[in-house]
């Protein structure tokens, strides 16, 4: 995918350079940031802010994550093209587009039907075809497991157990864990059938991960 409008293309390149200065170094992630038209994932009246490094509101009181956060989580995933990744919280679809751009086989779940439908339409129009599901991310997708990587883009208070069981041995999950005020970016590696290792990577603020589905 490439951004056809020169103005937005140069803004996306500028954003990627800014994230590199903030410490993102994974080339595949930076190239993806420079290639995905973020302005297509926000409301038309917010387009002028689309390439600023800040979160923006989307429908149903949710947010499109800050570009730095998207890049940081993507970098922690250390994705290789062809890896199978499960995202929880499709939201606007922007992060899913970044994962597609990196060349991953993408599965993504959203609990709001409205967001599921609108992100699917948008992604397909732009030529991205991740596997999108309307459902409760706490359940994961057992029928498509195991996954090389799992990325959670909403904040659970505790690590979702069922999702750990859907990781490949040797794979890992990136998840912001905490209460509504602040969360710790956490990596959980599955080292064996029943063994996991955890590491912490800084404070972030996400919308909460909530149970069940809504229209
Ligand atoms: N990755 C998104 C970030 C959206 S914010 C983007 O790039 O825009 C987090 C999203 O997670 C919201 O859309 C919210 O509705 C969704 N979410 C919260 N709890 C969920 C759950 N249990 N299952 C699936 N999605 C969930």
96-106 pLDDT tens trace: 999 999 999 99
Catalytic residue from among 65, 74, 108, 119: 65
Atom of ligand 1 nearest to the CA of 87: 1
Tokens of 90: 């499709």
Encode pLDDT of 161-209 as tens digits: 999 999 999 999 999 999 999 999 999 999 999 999 999 999 999 999 9
Question: pLDDT-derived band of residue 3, with 50, 70 and 90 as boundaries?
Answer: confident
Tell me the CA distances in angstroms from 6 to 3, 9, 37, 191, one per residue in order. Answer: 8, 5, 11, 46
Nearest CA to ligand 1 atom 10: 89
Residue nearest atom 19 of ligand 1, based on CA coordinates: 209
Overall fold of domain 6-204: Rossmann fold (3.40.50)
Q: The whole model's pTM is what?
A: 0.97
Q: In angstroms, what is the span from residue 88 Cα to ligand 1's centroid?
A: 6
The confidence score (pLDDT) of residue 1 equals 67
Question: Residue 23 burial by CB count (10 A; 0-12/13-18/19+): exposed, middle or buried?
Answer: exposed
Beta-bridge partners for 175: 186
Q: What is the mean pLDDT of the chain?
A: 96
Q: Taking Cα atoms as reference points, which of 211, 210, 102, 72 lies closest to residue 154?
A: 210
pLDDT digits (tens, 9 = 90+) for 110-139: 999 999 999 999 999 999 999 999 999 999
Distance 6 CA to ligand 1 centre (A): 31
**Residue 58 Cα to ligand 1 middle (Å):** 11
- Enumerate the domain spans of the chain: 6-204
Is residue 92 annotated as part of the catalytic site, yes or no? Answer: no
Give the other-Cβ count within 10 Å of 98's Cβ: 27
Model confidence at 4, pLDDT cuts 50, 70, 90, reads: confident
Atom of ligand 1 nearest to the CA of 58: 8
Q: Which atom of ligand 1 is nearest to the CA of 91?
A: 13
């Amino acid at each position: 995918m490439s951004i056809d409008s020169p103005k937005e293309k140069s803004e996306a390149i500028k954003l990627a350079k800014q994230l590199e200065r903030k410490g993102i170094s994974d080339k595949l992630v930076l190239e993806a940031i420079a290639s995905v038209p973020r302005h297509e994932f926000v409301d038309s009246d917010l387009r002028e802010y689309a390439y600023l490094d800040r979160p923006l509101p989307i429908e149903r009181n949710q947010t499109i994550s800050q570009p730095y956060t998207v890049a940081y989580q993507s970098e922690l995933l250390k994705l290789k093209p062809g890896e199978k990744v499960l995202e929880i919280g499709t939201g606007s679809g922007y992060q899913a587009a970044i994962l597609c751009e990196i060349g991953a086989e993408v599965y993504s779940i959203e609990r709001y039907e409205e967001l599921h439908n609108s992100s699917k339409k948008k992604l397909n129009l732009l030529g991205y075809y991740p596997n999108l599901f309307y459902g409760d991310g706490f359940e994961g997708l057992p029928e498509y497991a195991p996954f090389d990587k799992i990325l959670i883009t909403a904040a659970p208070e505790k690590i979702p157990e069922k999702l750990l069981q859907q990781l490949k041995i040797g794979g890992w999950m990136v998840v912001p864990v905490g209460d509504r005020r602040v969360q710790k970016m956490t990596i959980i590696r599955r080292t064996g059938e029943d063994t996991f290792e955890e590491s912490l990577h800084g404070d972030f603020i996400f919308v909460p991960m909530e149970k069940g589905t809504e229209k």
